Structure 1
Amino acid sequence: KKLSRFGVRSKDYYLYLFFKRAHKSFTLLFGCLLPLFFNAICSVITFGLLFLEKQFRLLDILFQIIIGQ
């Protein structure tokens, strides 16, 4: 009984270690990737806003030319 119990316990322990390690790697992966994704999204948004601003400036210039100011 002791041996079987120990075997089960060791199996559970190995599973626990594996899950702990997996969780740690998962958190590390997300810790590394999420800031990168966040930076990428922020840069895309800023570039998009700059592009839109340029487009709006062009539209403004066109409207000024059309209106004749």
Structure 2
Amino acid sequence: MVSSLVPPKIASPNAIGGAADAARMQRVVGFYEKLPRGKAPAPKARGILEWYSLRYMTGKNASVMRA
């Protein structure tokens, strides 16, 4: 019961703010810094089926009715 009241040692590998935690957080931050920012580029059609799909089914102005 007393052991639950005693805080962990600073040199412990499970201590918050240890060197291992800082190195892990630096890797996570580095990963997210490399990700692209902003909007994703608009998809380009590379064939007649992709063009039709982008134009009428999944594009910006997708509709069942032809424009």
- Give the TM bin, normalised by the shorter chain: 0.3 to 0.5
**Larger gyration radius, structure 1 or structure 2:** 1
Structure with the bigger percentage of helix = 1
Q: Name which structure has the greater RCO, CA cutoff 8 Å, separation 6+.
A: 2
